[in-house]
A and B are shown apart, each in its own frame.
Chain A
């Protein structure tokens, strides 16, 4: 009897739930969506309009091949960023879907004006993924950037996404920054961020028709809160990466002396770590930057016996100075920009809150005059498959 009642109750319950779970109201089929893979934002100071450009893959019925490139570009303008985004729908019969967009490129004018509206949208919207999306700063017009096809991947957006990763892992001269990373910096009391710069590069060849324009990621832009305030050149950018411990790999070229002859050396940095520490010396605030780097010997242009420990010590000393020079370049440039990209203010806030209270009102000026003590400890742990290549023009 009890079981019969329970079965009836269960049946009624399931029937009621069925009516409310049909998904008819908000059904979204995959062939009704445009999956945005890359988005670029720009601002027109003359008109006060925001411009949004998106790249979406072409979708065709199973078994058919798309005509021409496998991607399409949509562009729209609006009085606000959100209006521009919704205006994309005027041209697209499919609803724009941001859930898979992993590349966000910011135009130069928009960056100078301030990207707060973009940060707000990316966090507020339910579809966007801030932890996996890359943030990049354009050093060329947005229209040119998203329209190039480098032939490496089916979609330029995928190519660009891989490039950001590969650049960091092969020869770091730009940081990799997700939207989440930027937002974390944005919310700090001393808020400064560094974004990678993306542009295009065309090889200098005689037959222009055989040349493909490609993306290039090198150098970076410096932001104060949400506004672009300056740029770091590639080596300054690398100096910044050394200091904040984000450098993954690098090729550094220096010169050592052997038997009164100069030998050009290419070091391959395979790992690095660092520590930025504000210290109070008497009444003066100083910052210690300690960098540790591990390298392999990549190339010797000259003669040097790498079996001799003295030579290895000399190689390491030279590398120390080269790294120190790059960090010094980054420090000088950021002090000139008055941009505390090394999180010194945040560290003061955490570990010396009483000092931070005194200086935070005038932090930019304080930061610009801080003494940085840079210490580098590097090691050359591999010298490759040969010891010394005898002979040649350097003999």
Chain B
């Protein structure tokens, strides 16, 4: 394996952070606040617990098949038919992520900033470079992310720092006024976004020193929780009821900055950070879906599939309803259940099956 086809475990974890933040920052956090209200900070912790299970289960499973991705080992472990079905499920999952992220991107751009623009222009502007990056290889995307993530994290911290005077932590009181159910519901939504770690099914054979994934994964999860809690601070600034009415709470935090007359209207920083994250997100999942398809069909080149999937993302988005509320509703609890069943429950069943099979054969 040369350095241009493989990534380090640190780069993998940084990619996980970027993917999660890119999706959570705009719609998910507002959705979670709707469910969990002022207890969203607890929901993030519940989500982190789900992420720990997801990370451990998937790692335990893939580490039993070193140097192979899901498409390569699933038929060996579950038989030709079942193995292919499982691979197809993950291809659909990764492809759906790319579709939804692209949709979310164009919805927000046309919904908030440029309502008159045709949405297809945003689909194309995002998908073309994402396909290009995915065709160049996974190393390119993760190397790019290694540079972009620290800048994005710095912007997040700066945005909150510049709003320091507006933060009132008493807005988190009283704790769990509505009981534990809202916290669990919010936790499921956040937890489902943490489980983007399922891309490990594709990337594990490309990771140098994969044993470090767990240690670095926990460090990454800690950083992720901090970055998401920064977004939850919208509640400390605006109060839970007001924040729950906002479609894009982190954008409102950026718009709230007003240090003298000179330092205000910093929406563009948030947009830069978010668009970069969405680009990395879409590239990685297009790459994941293409590589799995290539190996499922036992071919040698995945780039044709990347172009095909990219084209399909643009076409499907043309037919998806132009309605941010509908997408938001779907991206709430319904999507959380769907995602968790594929990235937590299914890997758990696979792990149990593989372990039992191994036990019997030994």
* Chain A residues near B128 (CB-CB < 8 A): 13, 16-17
List residues of chain B with CB within 8 A of the CB of A187: 238-239, 241-242, 245
- How many whole Å from B300's CB to the nearest CB in chain A? 15
Q: For window 172-206 of chain B, which residues contact chain A by CB distance below 8 Å?
A: 173-174, 177
With A21-B125, A123-B245 as known contacts, state yes or no: A350 contacts B174, CB within 8 Å. Answer: yes
Q: Is the CB of B174 within 8 A of A353?
A: yes
User: B318 to nearest A CB, angstroms?
Assistant: 14
User: Within 8 Å of chain B (Cβ to Cβ): is A10?
Assistant: yes
Please tell me if A184 contacts chain B, counting CB pairs below 8 Å.
yes
- Contacting A at CB under 8 A, from B117-131, are 117-118, 120-121, 124-125, 128-129
CB of A132 within 8 Å of the partner chain? yes
Task: Write the nearest CB–CB distance from A180 to chain B, whole angstroms.
Answer: 7
What residues of chain B lie closer than 8 Å to A13, measured between beta carbons? 128-129, 132
Contacts of B256 in A (CB 8 A): 131, 180
* A:1-45 near B, CB below 8 Å: 6, 9-10, 13, 16-17, 20-21, 25-26
User: Contacts of A214 on B, CB cut-off 8 Å?
Assistant: none
Give CA–CA (A189, B111) in the complex, Å.
30
Q: Are B174 and A184 in contact (CB under 8 A)?
A: no
Could you give, for residues 101-125 of chain B, a 1 whenever the CB lies within 8 Å of some chain A CB and a 0 otherwise?
A: 0000000000111111110110011
Q: Contact: B174 with A129, CB < 8 Å?
A: no
The distance in angstroms between the C-alpha atoms of A184 and B239, with both chains bound, is 7
> Which A residues are in CB contact (< 8 Å) with B29?
none
Contact A9 B135 (CB under 8 A): yes
Bound-state CA distance A224–B183 (Å) is 31
A189–B115 Cα distance when bound, in Å, is: 34
Are A17 and B125 in touch, CB under 8 angstroms? yes
B238 — which chain A residues lie within 8 A by C-beta? Answer: 180, 183-184, 187
| A20 vs B239: C-alpha distance when bound (angstroms) | 40
Residue of A nearest to B123 (CB): A20
- Asked if B239 and A188 sit within 8 Å, CB to CB, the answer is yes
What 0/1 pattern do residues 187 to 218 of A give for CB contact below 8 A with B? Answer: 11100000000000000000000000000000
Q: Is B264 an interface residue when CB atoms closer than 8 A count as contact?
A: yes
Q: Given that A13-B129, A183-B242, A187-B239 are contacting pairs, would A21 and B258 also be in contact in the complex, using a CB cutoff of 8 Å? A: no
Given A17-B129, A131-B255, decide whether A25 and B264 contact each other with a Cβ distance below 8 A.
no
Interface contacts (Cβ under 8 Å), in number, total 66
**Known A-B contacts A16-B124, A17-B125, A132-B258; A350 and B242 likewise in contact (beta carbons under 8 Å):** no
CA distance A189 to B240 in the complex (A): 11
B219 interface contact, C-beta 8 A: no
Complex Cα–Cα for A17 and B174 (A): 50
The complex places the Cα of A20 from the Cα of B120 at a distance, in Å, of 9
Contact mask for chain A residues 98-132; partner B; CB cutoff 8 A; 1 contact, 0 none: 00000000000000000000000001001001111
Judged by a CB distance under 8 angstroms, whether B338 is at the interface is: no
Q: Are A350 and B118 in contact (CB under 8 A)?
A: no
Selected from B136, B257, B264, the residue in CB contact (under 8 A) with A6 is: B136
- Which one, B111, B121, B264, contacts A21 given CB within 8 A? B121
Does the CB pair A351–B112 fall under 8 Å?
no
The interface residues of chain B lying within 8 Å CB-to-CB of A227 are none
Q: Does A233 contact B (CB under 8 A)?
A: no
For window 214-239 of chain B, which residues contact chain A by CB distance below 8 Å? 238-239
Q: Which of B242-267 contact A (CB under 8 A)?
A: 242, 245, 255-258, 264-265
Expressed in whole angstroms, the minimum distance between the Cβ of A371 and any Cβ of chain B is 23
Contact of B117 among A9, A26, A351 (CB under 8 A): A26
Residue B80 CB within 8 A of the other chain: no
CB of A317 within 8 A of chain B? no
Q: Return chain B residues, CB-CB under 8 Å to A129.
A: 255, 265
Interface check A349, CB cutoff 8 A: yes
A184: chain B residues at CB < 8 Å are: 238-239, 242
B contact residues around A186 at 8 Å (CB):
242
Q: Which B residue's beta carbon lies closest to that of A191?
A: B241
For A21, the closest partner residue in chain B by CB is B125
- In the complex, what distance in Å separates the CA atom of A17 from the CA atom of B245? 35
Q: Is B170 an interface residue, CB under 8 A from the partner?
A: yes
Asked if B136 and A188 sit within 8 Å, CB to CB, the answer is no
Query: Are A350 and B173 interface neighbours, CB within 8 A?
Result: yes
Q: Which of A10, A21, A132, A350 contacts B170 (CB 8 A)?
A: A350
The answer to whether A25 touches B173 (Cβ under 8 A) is: no
* Given A17-B124, A126-B113, CB of A353 within 8 Å of CB of B177: yes
Tell me the smallest distance from the CB of B25 to a CB of chain A, in Å. Answer: 18
Contact in complex: B239, A25 (CB < 8 Å): no
Interface pair B135/A25, CB less than 8 Å apart: no
Distance in angstroms between the alpha carbons of A353 and B174 in the assembled complex: 7
CB pair A20 B121 closer than 8 Å: yes
Which residue of chain B has its CB nearest to the CB of A126? B112
CB-CB under 8 A from A130, the residues of chain B are 255
Taking the nearest CB of chain A, how far is it from the CB of B75, in angstroms? 32
Contact partners of B171 in chain A: CB under 8 A: 350
Which residue of B is nearest A123, CB measured?
B245
Please, which residues of chain A bring their CB within 8 A of the CB of B239?
184, 187-188
Identify A20's interface contact among B124, B135, B177, CB under 8 A: B124
A13 to B310, CA, bound (A): 13
Given that A6-B136, A20-B124, A350-B173 are known contacts, is A126 also in contact with B118, CB under 8 Å in the complex? no
Instruction: Report which A residues bind B (CB closer than 8 A).
Output: 6, 9-10, 13, 16-17, 20-21, 25-26, 123, 126, 129-132, 180, 183-184, 186-189, 349-351, 353
Q: Chain B interface (Cβ within 8 Å of chain A)?
A: 111-118, 120-121, 124-125, 128-129, 132, 135-136, 170-171, 173-174, 177, 238-239, 241-242, 245, 255-258, 264-265
Between A and B, 14 residue pairs with Cβ closer than 8 Å are A13-B129, A17-B124, A17-B125, A25-B117, A26-B114, A26-B117, A126-B111, A126-B112, A129-B265, A131-B257, A183-B242, A187-B242, A188-B241, A351-B174
Other 17 A-B pairs with CB < 8 A, given A17-B128, A184-B238:
A6-B136, A16-B124, A17-B124, A17-B129, A20-B125, A21-B125, A25-B117, A25-B118, A26-B116, A26-B117, A123-B245, A129-B255, A132-B264, A183-B238, A187-B242, A188-B239, A351-B174
Closest A-B pairs by Cβ, 4 of them: A187-B242, A187-B241, A350-B173, A26-B116
